[in-house]
Every structure is written in C-alpha cells, then in structure tokens.
Structure 1
Amino acid sequence: MNDVPQDQALERDVQLFTALLGEVLREHSRKRVLVIVERLREGFMQLREGDDPELREKLMKRIEGLDAQTLSEVIRAFNIYFGLVNTAEELNAYLARMDLISAGQRLWVGSFDEMARRFKDDGVSPENFQSLLEHLIYLPVFTAHPTEAKRRTTLETFRRIFLVGQDLHRSKLNDEELEDRLQDILTQIQILWKTDEVRIHKPQVTDEVRQGLYFFRESLFEAVPRVYRFLEKAVRRVYGAQSGIRVPSFIRFGSWIGGDRDGNPFVKPETTELAVRMHGELVLELYLERIRKLHRMLSHASSICQPSPAFMDSLDADEDYWVDTMGQSLRRYVHEPYRRKLAMMDHRLGANLKRIRARMAGRYDPTQPAGYASERDFLADLYLIRDSLHHHGDANAAAGPLQDLIRLAETFGFHLVHLDIRQESIRHTEAVTELFARQAGAPFYQAFDEEQRLMALAEAIAHPHPFVIDKATLTPETRETLEVFEVMARMRAEISESLFGQYVISMTHYASHVMEVMLLARLAGLAGKDCRDWFCKIQVSPLFETIDDLNRIGEVMGRLFKDPTYSALLKASGNQQEVMLGYSDSCKDGGILASSWRLYEAQRRVIQLADDEGVSCRLFHGRGGTVGRGGGPTHEAILAQPTDTVHGQIKLTEQGEVLSYRYANPETARYELTLGISGLIKASRCLIEPPPEDRKDYLGVMDELARYGEEAYRKLTQETEGFLDYFYECTPLDGIALLNIGSRPSHRKKADRSLKSIRAIPWVFGWAQSRQTLPAWFGIGYAIERYRGNDLERLVKLQKMYQEWPYFRALLSNTQMSLFKAEMHIARAYARLAENREQAEAIYGIIEAEYERTLVQVLNVAGLRGLMEETPDLQRSLARRNIYLDPLNHIQVSLLERYRNEREEEKREEWLDPLLRSINAIAAGMRNTG
C-alpha cells in the first residue's frame, strides 16, 4: 500500500473506512438507515453543485418524515464517518512525514530539521544556539472548557483503528493477513456503532480530570522523550556532534482541570485536593512501570564492569534501607548493582504511591515507609545510574529507556502538571472586604479608592498577624475562598513545591485585585515577611480579557511593578511576572479585529514595561480551539506574536476538541509539540540577536482597521434590534446548554441572557453549529473596504503586509479558514427558526452581506482566486466533511423546530436525544467547536 501517492492513499483509506461503516450499518442498524444516509448525502451533494428548490424541499420532507430513533441512528452514522475521516487523515499525515524522513529529504516547515538548518544558514553560532535553548520553557495548559464531545472509550477505539491502519500501510501482508486486518477495523467500527458516544450524565469535575489524564497515560509519556530525541538528532545532524550543543529539558505541562473555579460552582477546595492527588498517583504509576523495565534491562554484573565510586557510595548509604525498611537479604542482587539500586527506587516510589492512595481514601498511617522526599531525590538516583554507565563505557545503555525516564522525571516531577488556580476578582474583593469588616475599628474597605486599597493591603500583607479570624463566623463564600489557599499550602508540602503553576485572576481591572490575592495568600502562609525577609510561594497571573481591560494593561501592571510590597514579593518568588491574555472574551466584546489588535498592543506594552522595571515577563495566551477564540495553527500563531515579546517562554491553553486532535495519538502529539517548540525557538531569536524594528506604517494601518472592525461588530451586536434574539433562536444554544460535555454552566448568571453573561465558548459554539462562524470574521471585510476605498496604493500596501508581516498573514489565513467553514445558504435555513421572521431575515441579510464583503476583500488582499488556495490539504479536508455536514445541519434545523414547538414534555424529550447527537456530530465534522 505504500507505493500509492499520498493523496490517493488518503482517499482510498476514506473510501475503505466508509465502505466498512456501510457494512456495519447494513447488518446492525435499522433497515432504512443506510439508504437514508446515502440518499441524503447524494441529494445534498447535488445541491452543492447547483441549487434546486424542488430537490431541497424533497430532502427536507424526507428528514421531517423520520421518527426520533431513526434520526438518532442517521446522525450517529454521520458522526462515526467524521471520526473515521479524522483517523484516516491523521494516519496518512503521519505516514507522509515518516516517508519524508526515510527518504532523507528536507522536512516540513516547523520541523526541528528545518528550524536548525535555518539557524545554521543564518550564521547562528553553536554557542548562541545553546544560549537560546537554555532559556526555553514550552508550557501547554490543558483546560476543561466544555467543547469536547468525544468520550475516552471512543478515543481508545479510534486509536485501535489508527494502529491497524498503520499496519495495513507499513506491512507486507498476504491475502489472509489483509483479510484479518480489515476484519479488525470492521470490528472496531461495529464497536463504535454499539457504543453511545453521547454521555448519559453531565461529567463531574473528577471525570474531566480523568479525561485529561488519559492523554498523559496513553500518549504524552511516550511522545515527550521522543520529541527531545528528535530535537537532539536534528541539532547533531545540522551543527555536528562536535558542536557540544546540549538540549535541556524545557517542556512543561499545566492544567486548569480541578483548579478553574471561575463560574464553575462544582470546583471546591476538596476537588482541587483530589485532582492533584490523582495527578500524583498517575505519574508515580507510570514511573514504576519504567523502573521495572529498567530493572529487567540493566543486568550488569560488578564482576565484569566497575560502577562509578559515587554510585557505589550511594548503594552503601542505602544498606539500612535495603535491610530494615525493605526487609531484603544482603545477598540479593549483590553482584548486580543497578538492579539492587532500581529495586530500592521501586520500593520508594511504591511507598509514595501508597501514601497518596491512602490519603485519597481518607486514611493515612504516618508509620508507613516515607519513600522519596521529593522528585529531586528520585532524579538524583537516575543521574547516578546514568553517570555510572558512562563511567564504564556503557553510554549507549544510558541513552535509551533510562534517558527517556530522566526526561520524563525532569518534565513531570511528582506533580505531572502545574495546576493553575483560577477565580474571578470579585470573589477576592468580597472576601477581603469581609475580613476587614470583621476587625475591630477597621475601616470600610469597599469605600476606599484604589490608592487607599493598595495602602491598606500592603500594610496587612507586611503585618505579622494581619487579622483575627474566626472562620466559623465567615460567610460560606469567604470561608471557601480562604480554604483554596490553605489547600495550596497543604498540597505543596504533601506532594511537591512545583505542584501549582499560577493563581489566575479573571476580570482583573485594577492593581488591587492582584494585591487582594497576595493578602489571602499571606493568611495561608504562602507569602509575607518573616524575621529575615520577604517570602513568596505563590505566583499570580492577572488575566486581561475585555477590550477595556487590554487597553488598561499598562496602567495596572505599571502600578503593580512600582508598588514596593508587590515588588518585594515578586523578587522573592523569582522576579518573573506572568500575564494572561484572554482571546475569547475580548473577541466576544469587540470583534476579531479589535481583539486581535488590542492583544498585540497589550503584549508590546506589558513586555516593554517589565523590561523597564527589570522584571522577566511571560505571556500566557488564553487561546481556544476556534479562530473566534484565538485558535489556529500553533507554529504560525507563535511566529505572529509581536517582535521581541517571546523571550524563550510561551504558555498557552489547549482545550476541548484540540486535546483529542493534538494529543490522543503519540505520533500526532510528537508532531504538534515539535511545531510549537520550533515556533518558540524561531520567535525567541531576539534573545541572541537584535530583533527587526516594527514597521510603524503597518502598525498605523492596523490601528485604523481595528477601529473600523470594532465599529462594524458593535453596530451588529449592540445596536441592531433583536440581534440577541436572533442568536438564541437561530443557533442551537438551548441544546448546547444541555449537552453533557462539561461541568461548567453555559452562562455566568443563569437568568441573564445578555452578551456579557453568556460565556465565550457557547457564543462561538453556537455560531459554528449554525455555519455562520461569525465571531471569527465579522467586521474584517468592512474594515478593509473602508480603509481601501478606491485607492489602489492602499490595496498594494495591504498585500505587502500580507506577504511580509507574519501577524497580518496569520490573521487573514485564519479568516479564510473560518469563511470556508461558514455556509450562508445553511445559515439561512437556521434563520427560519426565529419567532420574528422579518427581523431575523434583516439580521441574516447584514451577516450575509458582511460575509460576501469579507470574502472579496480577503481574497483581494491575499491575491487568491479561492479560499485556502495556499493550504490545499486543509481545504480538501474541510470539503471532504461538507458532504455529510450539509445534511446534518438540515437535520438539526428540523430537530430544533420539533423540539421547540412540541408542547408535550414526554414527546419533547424524544427529540432532545437526536438534537444533542446532532450537536456532537457537527462539532466532530467541523473539527472546531468552541
């Protein structure tokens, strides 16, 4: 199968999987399902070739004549098709990369090979390249934002299909073996058909934690060491082994799952406690598996090779542990020193694991063996074995599984991920106000202006005993807020000092919002001043989300950096300030152009400010999966950051469907991590050479475009009568709120239907489902048209910006993808769901006109005849899905009508099941949900 061109091989796999799905439907579905699926697919394909009102009406009548159960099965068939197409594409992309590597050809843009060659060709010396590597931190953060529709069990089944598909391509199979592989795939598709892909119950936060852990257990523990190996090989290949370049461990992972309590009432202090123990349990289990493999492998005899003196000294020092704690005979492994050491390491890790499990079960025996005091001690033992193997000429034995385990331990420690805690600023203000109010003779904190608040907070933080607190008298909200900080202090002591990442404050409007968190941390012993000096074991990341907040970022951070108390705490914690930027809310607030540009400007301002104050600053990018929430290809997104703002470190959220798309298979996880890391290295050249100056004329053009784009967006969302009714009625938002894909509510305040209350995720999700993708492009066409006018020189300027400026190119490339995913003829079908048809038609008309305007203007600026001409593989991938998405959208419109118009509760519930399945299926087909 491997002699077939790549695009043909992919099409053949898609046809094979589709045919096998057809066989399963023929045998295991209701009799008419396969026929209905085929007729709908063929009918809507005809409509794509040319509109035919008579055929459209006939197809809609067919849909409307189907009962709820048959519709559910039809939708499930489409959904499985999308999963199989995703698997085929992922498999063929991986095989194509492997073929390139095998052929010894130049690798793809974003590969380590391409990145290293570019640096070498540009004259970057080995010393400078090494210096850049020493500054790196690549930190993806997994979040539980409710946009992931796939269950863990479904991911596992698709993984099995991926592996069998790989076997079909890579192995020389006889007819019988080929038949066996095809039967394997058929069996897995049959299992998918018999598995309910929709969760029956809304997931608990602990379910979301387990979902996150899946990617580490099944994929990342294999992928991460391989990524380091690939980077080392690329550097060695390009710079030569004699260059002496050493690749440090710089990949880290973060998580919000179990720590993000902003708007999620189900994340309690005890939830966070359980989450970090679940992380600790998994990482110890995975280390134990690898220690046992090493134990079987490193059978070196001391009579044949001589371990290093340092290693032998450590064995002697461990003799009491071997005899007294482990109860082992002195003779056991007496001539196999590495096995002896690894047996002790196994026992110590086992003791750590038992302790975590006992605490999870609510019991703890302090007399149990202590195990390792920290990950540093575990790493020290691994380094001893590695160095000793080098000592007697067995460096090759140290370079395999042992080096991989060292990389894993350096990356994941005993904590697996750095758990960020997130809470909204108002909760801290309310807690601090109450604490001040409970003190005799204390002033009324809420009546203070910002200057007075900062003074009162600084005073309290520096005080040895700021408050007398009787927790029993506090409101439940304040008590819970304090308990979160207490859990942080307790868990740091129990598991690892590296356990927590940042304390993220959403809706940061003032410097006092950060200082309030510092005061609450002071009360839990995480920060303050002791008899010697200031100490700080917490790092705070203010989150700037709205357009107004992004505009105020310089004022807020400038005030903080100049505050003596905050400055002292920052120095005590390492003098690094992290600032989080909210892509989602700023886009929902002011539209994609204003959001993107304000984020760009905010980054430049805050980095300049930090540099002026001598503070290291890392930016945390709160990107979602979709373009409307800051999504898009990671490599390009990192390169599109403002000049001189990526100083070796980048932190970004990974969430929803992006997690399964990027990290479910280790082969794809390696590729995605490579793209992100090579982008980070390229964007960090400012660390070793002067960065290019910003083009002031380009910045001026973007100022103007952003102003026009925001004007158009706000006119639609805030000044158009009935716009929010259109959103609620002409998208499946009511179904999204009921879908069991996340523990978090879809609105901040349940009864509030305002734009401010609705979360950015369902906002983007709703527009995507109805094929309008509005948040990702609305206002761009208007802005370009208004800027250009009839001035040809201005068009040439925009075209030059597209060619030369990575930021502008990424912006318009992502816009093209969003426009391609939008389908205005399908959006019109959703418009008929509105109660006020006339009003909805008028709003639809505004949206359609802006779509057409944006399409024309973007293609003109990019110099293209059609959308996504520059990314043909992605264009084909999206087009491949449309043949099934078209009927699905029309099915969803029909279901929404029936669900909303049915008066009898029991019959209404009947339509809910296929409606929820349609949301799942469309999300799978578009590959971006929220």
Structure 2
Amino acid sequence: MLIPMNEITQDQALERDVQLFTALLGEVLREHSRKRVLVIVERLREGFMQLREQEDAELREKLMKRIEGLDPQTLSEVIRAFTIYFGLVNTAEELNAHLARMDRISAGQRLWVGSFDDTVRQFQEDGISPEHFQSLLEHLLYLPVFTAHPTEAKRRTIMETFRRIFLVGQDLRRRKLNDEEIEEKLQEILTQIQILWKTDEVRVHKPQVIDEVRQGLYFFRESLFEAVPLVYRFLEKAVRRVYGANHGVKVPSFIRFGSWIGGDRDGNPFVTPETTELTVRMHAELVLEEYLERIRKLRRMLSHSSGFCEPSPALLDSLDADEDYWVATMGQSLRRFLNEPYRRKLAMMSHRLGANLARIRARIENRDADHVSRGYGSDRDFLADLYLIRDSLIHHGDASAAAGPLQDLIRLAETFGFHLVHLDIRQESTRHTEAITELFARQAGAPFYQAFTEEQRLMALSETIAHPHPFVIDKATLTPETRETLEVFEVIARLRAEIGEKVFGQYVISMTHAASHVMEAMLLARLAGLAGKDRQGWFCNLQISPLFETIDDLEHIDQVMGTLFDHPTYQALLKASGNQQEVMLGYSDSCKDGGILSSGWNLFEAQKKIIALADDRGVSCRLFHGRGGTVGRGGGPTHEAILAQPVDTVHGQIKFTEQGEVLSYRYANPETARYELTMGISGLIKASRCLIEPPVEERNDYLGIMDELSRHGEEAYRKLIRETEGFLDYFYECTPLDGIALLNIGSRPSHRKKADRSLGSIRAIPWVFGWGQSRHTLPAWFSIGHAIERYRNNDLERLAKLQKMYQDWPYFRALLSNTQMSLFKAEMRIAREYVNLAENREQAESIYRLIEDEYNRTLTQVLNVAGLLGLMEETPELRHSLARRNQYLDPLSYIQVAVLGRYRAEPEEDKRAEWLDPLLRSINAIAAGMRNTG
C-alpha cells in the first residue's frame, strides 16, 4: 500500500518512486530473465556498495570472480537490467522534479531562480521599466540547434516506453485513486517495464543519416509542439503578474530551432546532397501535419454563427476573395458553412495546407508534384490567415477564444514556419579549397590557385564573385568530390525556392584558418546563384558562419574576421544579406587540443575580440556556441552557461548546439522541455541586460588571474597528452574506444582517417566519451588543480582572491561548479582497473599515477577555492542523483573491464563476437547512468 503523499517530503517521494520502480523491475526479472540474473544483479549491487563504504580486498576479489565466471548471455542480461534501472531512475527524477515545480506554482510562492516569475520580478525590483523590458524582449532570439552525435544510445521506441511510465506515474501522484485503481496503475507500469525487458535497447544495425533525422523529429512531434506555446504562456503570465496587464508589454515569438542532422557533412560521407534534400522535406512534412491536425480541431471549436456575432470586415473580405477557390478548386457548395465564417475559413486553410503537404509527399516519394494545387505560397500567407481569424474574434468580443488553441497555433507557425528548423550545412574548409583549386585549373590560362598567397587568393576570389560569368563548368568532367560540393549549394538554392527562405540557417565552415576559406564558400554560392552582383547591385542569400575550434584558431580569430570585415567584396555581400555575421566557436576540439582551462579562457577572450571587431565596423554579430553534452565539450547547465558569457557579448541572441543524450534528457518529455527552455531563455534575458543599461565590466584583476591560470593549465595538459610517452596508447587501450567505434549509435565515423591513431584524427566526441566510459572524465578537469596550485603558491591572500572570484564572477563559478560535477563522476579506483587492459602495464601504471595525482590535486584545490568540505555541496539534488546511480554504475564498470579483456584476448573470431554484445551493452548502460557523457 502506498503512503499518502501528504505525509512525505519531496525527497521521500522521489526515493519511494525509485524503490517502487526498482521493485517492479525485480518482479519482471524474477519472472522473465534467465535463472540467477536477479540474484546476480542484487549481489553485485550490494557488494560494490559495501566497497564504496569500506575497501575490502577479499570482497572485491570475490565479486570479480563472480563477474569473470559469467557467460556472455548472462552478462548481457545483467547489463540490460542495470540499463533499465537507469532509465527508471531518470524517469522518476524527471517526474518528481516536474511535480515539485507544479506544487510550488500551486502554492503561489515566488518561483525558483531561472523561472520567468523570479526573473521578471528581479527586473522590476531593479527598477527596469515596462518599456525597457519590452525593448529587451524585442531583441531576443533563442536558438538551440539539434545535432546527431554518436553518444545518444537510446532508441525512439525505448523513449516512448519511458514516456508511458512517466504519464502513469504522474497519474499515481496527482490523481485521487482508490486501492483498485492504484493496483491497475501499478500493473500498467509493470507491463511497460516488461515491454522494456523484451525490447532490445541496442540497435541491430548502424543508423543511417535518415534514421538520425527521424530521431530528431521525434522531439518535435512528441514534446516541443506542446512545450513551445506553453513556454510563451508562462512568460506572458509572469509579465502580467509583475508589470500588470495594463502596461502593454507584449511577448514576441523569439524561439527558433536549428538542426545539423542531415546537413553536417564534415567527416560524414553519408550526408549527400540527396540526403539533405530529403531531410528538408521530412521537416516540412512533419510541421504541415501538425498544423493540419490543429486546424481541424479549431474547425470543430470555432463554430460561431454570423447571426450571433459580427466578423471583422477584413475576414469577410477575405472570404469573398476566396469564393472562387471554395467553389472551383475545393468543389464546395456555396451553402456549406454559409453562416459559420470561421469554419469556412478554416476549411479553406485546411485544403491549402493539404495541398502543400501533398506536394511535399510527392517529392519525398519521387512522384510528379505538378498536378497538385499550389496551396499556400509561403508560411507568411498561412500566418496572415491565422491573424485574420484572431483579430476578427477580438473584434466581436471573443478575445478569450482567440487566446486559446488559436494563439498556440500562431506561436507554432511563428516559431516553425513551413520549414520546422533552420538546417545548417557544415563542411570542412579543405573541401572548398580543393573544389576552387580544381575549378580555377579547368579555366584556360588560369594560374595554380593553391600557389597563391592569402592576399592573391582573396583578390582572385572577389574578382570571380563579381564577374557576370565566372567559370565555364562542365560538371561531367569534375571529380566526384568537387561535383558533390557544387551540388550542395545547388540544393540550397532549389529548396529555398521550393519551401521558403528560412529553410536553411547558416553555412558553417569547420577548420576556418583564413579569410579566404569564407570567400571560397561565397564563390561556390555565387556559382549556384545564391550570391553575386547583378544590375540591381549585390545580393546574397547565404549566410556563412566560420567555425574556430582549435586553440591556435581562437587566438587568431580577430585577424581572420578583421580581414573579412574590411574586405570590400565581403562587406558588400554581408550588407546584402542583412549585415549580421554569425561566428561559431568550437568547444570540443579546443578542449582536446589545449585542455579545459585554456579552451574555456580562449573561447571567452575570442568572444570579446569578435564582438568588439563587429561593433567597431557597425556589424551585428551573433555567437554560435558549439557545446557538447559533457563539460569536456562545453556542456553543463544552460542557464549558468549563458550567464557565464563575457559581459556585453550576449546582445539578446544565443545559439548553441544540443547534442547526444542531452536531447533526450532535455526534450523527450514536454514537461522537462518546458523547464529547460524556460531556464535557457531566462538566462538569455538576464545576460542581455546590456541592451537596456550599461553593463558592469569584468574586473581586470580577475581577467589577469585567468590569463595566468590558463597558461599553467595548457602547459600541464599538453605535457600529459603530447609529451608523455605512451599516452595515446593508454587512451586506446585503457578506454573502450574500440567498442565505441562499433556501437550502432551514430552514422558518423569516430575517426577522421580510419587507420590514423593520432590525437588529430580522433574526433573530440569519442575522445570525451571514451574517458567518461572508463570513469576518468579527464578532459573536463585535468590541469585545473595544477594551475590553481601554481597560482596560489601557498599564499593565503591569493587563495582569498580566488575564493572571492568564485563568489562574484559567474564565469569562474560556472567553471568550478562544472569541474566539481566532473570530479564527482570520475572514479579513480575504477579507472585504475582499466589499466589492467594495457599492453605495457608498467608504462600505463606510470601514466595512471600522473592522472590520479592531478585528480587529487584538483579535488583539493577546487574544494579550497569553493570553501566546501565535499564535492557538489551547493547542488545537493544533483549530488544525490549522481550518487544514486553509483550503486549500479560501479558493477557495470567492473563488468566492462572484464568483458573488454575477454573481447580483446579472444583469438577466434566467432568466440570474440560472443563478447561483443555484452561490451556494446555495457557502453550503452554506462552512458545511460552517467547521462551527459558525450
């Protein structure tokens, strides 16, 4: 029998739900797993929990013998049990966090820091007038960009099952149920857990790019179409509550979404022009389906009769203008909906949307679409019809009817258009250089482009862009690589004309080292008719975002961008495209290259340099943050990350990547998606106060200290990874990287070059993922302790200075808070077990000792600076969440070490393959337990 909810605290409620879900999982294992699986799971869990409390060599040896004595199939089932446990814990935590927020809202209290309520109240208390707050709102753009990266191991079908458990759990907690109804709900959860047990959580086949596109679409269909309108409603309520309904503060639509899935071709040979074309049409198909369903519901709801209300003249005029369409195109009787103007208007809107959808589907299926009626010419026309209905309802006193589902649909249409997301295209700079070199070489008498200096390249490129007939091209004679590069730009031009101007976002150039890399892409755009000069002057329908991702590139960002901003041709093209420059900053490669301290600080400095450059030249600049899920790739809580940006660099706009398992964590449930969007937007609002009042500049002494810390940190990090003999062997042998490369969780290869085991070849994502799997989490903290210790030099005054920095400066506080989380997730005792896998054990032991020493040093220094006795004391809920997972993570890690050893040591291919299944499942399971590991 469940304890009544009014008799337990929120913490007790969460623990009760975790225990309930775990008990139900135990029932499923008892009934449906192989013999002894439940016993093994419990013995391992209890045993490793005891080891956490007190080391016992005899118990440790006994547990390892138990693991090593298990056959592959039993091990796989044990791992699957742990994986489902993590999913159930995640579900319980999401559910309880959501219910706690709802309880706080119901109590009428001031809400949590990061809520719209608290944020708007803070602005009002600080004397920000309604007019100034309105001005700030009008400058906002919040733009998360979804990317497909090989760290999201969860299949869509698994997410859907956990969603059903979430909803039943919510019923158990929020509804008054009798004993029989409670039993029915418990049986529903048991059934879903049983389905999870009978469903393979590991993909049988490696996903294709289009599978990844479908995975991305899941979050919109199941969550974001519901969450986005509610986020606007919550902000509107907060504004009304604080500033009053009569102050006239209007909340514009400022949320947009981007995607790289199906557009990111850097290092992924499977993203072809055809793939991009199909991706865009799948986006359009989904959003049109959503609009059609909502229009149908509105048609049932808005049954107003013209006999009892007077529609606006504009709506009546529109109905008159559409009469031919009603009769000739739709084949409707003039009498149908004669006295129900909104139903008539909505029926026509539905028909037009249906025509748009039919055309999209015909093209997806490679059928002729010319016979399909045109439908809406653009999403602007669709929105105009929605505004007509809204204004007409308000006109005859039915504003409340206009404020419901109709306003939600307006918010969706303003947010998603007919394109759903702005698809960014990404390609590596050398592909453009190679294409341009070949194109120049094919022209009679043309010099060798690659022999040019940077100045000569810029001159040749600008002259060719401005030329009315730049190149004579016979595509059939080009290399396949150059032909494909050209076709990407042609696809952009074609789909902009077919679906709309907003269908694509930015053209991102990775590894941008020079201004010519941007101008090369501009010339390719010119060849596709996207940019150039005609009789009316310059035009440009492509915005390019150079990506700076290595430490060296970040240090030279001002030289590259200064050259571009001062180049007459680029100036003209930029002005023609709206005079806004987006610059992307890469967190992943810079961290892999120079360590977390140097990376973070160089990114901080780069932002200030680029914003100052743009401001000096009167260019609007938006920064695009290429963050990953884990701290080692720029991850961490979004609210704090935005507030930690340099002063006066967030001018109302923020764009950032959302990657890997972070997508399902933040956006799989609409309740969590609302919260995550709210926290990010409130951070954006706070960070953008510089738009309406002079900002408080960062202290020069703090900046100087970070300069010094960064230098010390980069020196220590590079000494480890570049100067320590055998370090890359340690990485390859003491992490499950060989398993990660085989796991069917992403379409993109883990290495840029297959046979290359160098630091430059390994991608930043598997680099971080591998260290996380082996419980080192090294990229997120290594060298921070060394840097602080060198700076402090046993000087108490310097320690006091760092402690004040931690209290006063959001950047430094976020840095050390994220470091604490990474240190907490690391487990040096377990990392030591992976050393047993090394071929040169003596060398690996030596490297491990270097890592362990720095871990202990970083732990000591961070706790001293933060003034804490233990890690994450300031975030107890997150600390408890991570600790709760350790009881299952620990045995999983030991299982993974044992399986890796068997997998690598088995000489016979068939027998080796038997160990691959538990290995891949262990990687999935540890990723689920650690959450933001990639």
**TM-score category (smaller protein):** over 0.9
What percent identity do the matched residue pairs reach? 84
**In terms of mean alpha carbon deviation, does 253-262 or 688-697 score higher?**
688-697
**What code does the residue aligned with 2:315 have?**
F
Q: Quick one: which of 784, 788, 795 aligns to 1:784?
A: 788
From 722, 727, 752, the equivalent of 2:726 is: 722
- Structure 1 outlier segments of 4+, above 3 Å: none
Q: Counterpart in 1 of 2:889?
A: 885
User: Of 299, 312, 317, which residue of structure 2 is paired with 1:295?
Assistant: 299
2:700 matched to which residue of 1? 696
Pairing 1:102-501 to 2, within 5 Å after superposition: 102-501=106-505
Question: How far apart are the structure 2 equivalents of 1:8 and 1:838?
Answer: 48
Q: Deviations over 1:398-450 (max 9, x none)?
A: 00000000000000000000000000000000000000000001111100000
The answer as to 2:902 corresponding to 1:898 is: yes
Shift of 1:368: 1.8
Describe the SS at the equivalent of 2:624.
strand
Aligned-partner SS, 1:832: helix
CA distance in 1, matches of 2:10, 2:541: 52
How far residue 112 of structure 1 moved from its aligned partner, in angstroms, is 0.2
**1:602-624 deviation per Cα after TM superposition (whole angstroms, max 9, x unaligned):** 00000000000000000000000
Q: Is the 8 A contact 1:64 1:894 kept in 2?
A: yes
Equivalent-residue separation in structure 1 for 2:737 and 2:518 (angstroms): 35
In the aligned structure 1, how far is the partner of 2:248 from the partner of 2:794? 58
> How far does residue 928 in structure 1 lie from its aligned partner after superposition?
1.6
Give matches, 1:594-743, under 5 Å.
Answer: 594-743=598-747
CA distance in 2: counterparts of 1:106 and 1:676, whole angstroms: 19
2:67 counterpart letter in structure 1: I
Separation in 1 of the partners of 2:243 and 2:716? 51
State the partner residue of 1:2. Answer: 5
* Offset from partner CA, 1:193-232 (integer Å, 9 cap, x none): 0000000000000000000000000000000000000000
Residue 419 of structure 1: SS of its match in structure 2? strand
Structure 1 unaligned regions, length at least 5: none
Q: CA deviation at 1:367?
A: 2.9
Report how far residue 145 of structure 1 moved.
Answer: 1.0
Give secondary structure in 2 for the equivalent of 1:399: helix
Q: Kindly indicate whether the alpha-carbon contact (under 8 Å) linking 1:709 and 1:779 is maintained by their aligned counterparts in 2.
A: yes
Q: Are the equivalent residues in 2 in contact too, given 1:215–1:664 (CA < 8 A)?
A: yes
Contact 2:231–2:674 (Cα < 8 Å) also in 1: yes
Contact 2:10 2:100 in 1 (8 A): yes
Determine the C-alpha separation between the residues in 1 that align with 2:168 and 2:367: 44
Cα contact 1:644–1:684 (8 A) shared by 2: yes
Question: Alpha-carbon deviations, 1:117-146, whole Å to 9, x = none?
Answer: 010000000000000000000000000011
Q: Give the Å deviation of 1:2.
A: 3.3
Contact 1:2/1:170, CA 8 A, preserved across alignment: no
Match of 1:865 in 2: 869
Q: Could you say which residue in structure 1 is the equivalent of 2:918?
A: 914
Separation (CA, whole Å) in 2 of partners of 1:456 and 1:436: 10
1:29 aligns with 2:33: yes
* 1:756 paired residue among 741, 755, 760: 760
Structure 1 position 825 matched with structure 2 position 824: no
Distance 1:788 1:366 in 2: 73
Instruction: Measure the CA separation in 2 of the matches of 1:809 and 1:748.
Output: 35
- Is 12-21 or 367-376 further displaced after alignment? 367-376
SS of corresponding position for 1:454 = helix
Deviations 1:472-531 (A, max 9, x none): 000000000000000000000011110000000000000000000000000000000011
- Give the secondary-structure state (helix, strand or coil) at the position aligned to 1:166: helix
Partner SS, residue 140 of structure 1: strand
Q: How far apart are residue 267 of structure 1 and its match? A: 0.2
1:524 matches 2:528: yes
User: Are the aligned partners of 2:363 and 2:369 in contact in 1 as well (CA < 8 Å)?
Assistant: no
What letter matches 1:2 in structure 2?
M
**Aligned pairs (5 A) from 1:497-576:** 497-576=501-580
Aligned CA-pair RMSD: 0.4
Equivalent position SS for 1:708: helix
What is the aligned residue count?
930
2:145, 2:655 within 8 Å by CA — same for their partners in 1?
yes
Query: What SS does the aligned partner of 2:542 have?
Result: coil
Provide the secondary structure at the position in 1 that maps to 2:837: coil
| Partner AA of 1:86 in structure 2 | N
The secondary structure found in structure 2 opposite 1:501 is strand
2:151–2:745: 8 Å Cα contact kept in structure 1? yes
How far residue 363 of structure 1 moved from its aligned partner, in angstroms, is 1.3
Shift of 1:106: 1.2
Q: Secondary structure at the match of 1:104?
A: coil
State how far apart, in whole Å, the 1-side matches of 2:635 and 2:369 are: 47
User: What SS does the corresponding residue of 1:400 show, helix, strand or coil?
Assistant: helix
Q: Which residue type is aligned with residue 192 of structure 1?
A: L
Displacement of 1:694 after TM fit? Answer: 1.6
- What is the identity, as a one-letter code, of the residue corresponding to 2:72? A
Give the C-alpha shift of residue 790 in structure 1. 1.4
Q: Deviations over 1:326-377 (max 9, x none)?
A: 0000000000000000000000000000000001111123132100000000
Q: TM-score, normalized by length of structure 1?
A: 1.00
Deviation per residue, 1:90-112 (Å, 9 max, x gap): 00000000000000011111000
- Asked if structure 1 preserves the Cα contact closer than 8 Å seen for 2:830 and 2:894, the reply is yes
Structure 1 residue aligned with 2:807: 803
Contact 1:435 1:467 in 2 (8 A): yes
Aligned partner (choices 55, 59, 64) of residue 60 of structure 1: 64
* Unaligned runs of at least 5 residues, structure 2: none
Q: What residue in structure 2 maps to residue 845 of structure 1?
A: 849
Question: Cα deviations across residues 803-843 of structure 1 (Å, max 9, x unaligned)?
Answer: 00000000000000000000000000001100000000000
CA distance in structure 2 between the partners assigned to 1:197 and 1:363 by the alignment: 36
Is 1:856 the counterpart of 2:864? The answer is no
Q: Deviations over 1:582-632 (max 9, x none)?
A: 000000000000000000000000000000000000000000000000000
1:607–1:617 contact (8 Å) kept in structure 2 = yes
Pair 1:765 & 2:769 matched = yes
Q: Write the letter of the residue equivalent to 1:503.
A: Y
Deviation at 1:655, TM superposition (A): 1.0
Q: Is the 8 A contact 2:14 2:93 kept in 1?
A: yes
Amino acid of the structure 1 residue aligned with 2:743 = L
The 3-state SS of whatever aligns with 2:5 is coil
Q: Which residue of structure 2 lines up, in the alignment, with residue 589 of structure 1? A: 593
On the 8 A contact 1:139/1:251 being kept in 2, the answer is yes
Identify if the C-alpha distance between structure 1 residues 365 and 885 changes in structure 2 by more than 3 Å, giving closer, same or farther: closer
Within 1, Cα distance between the matches of 2:693 and 2:459?
42
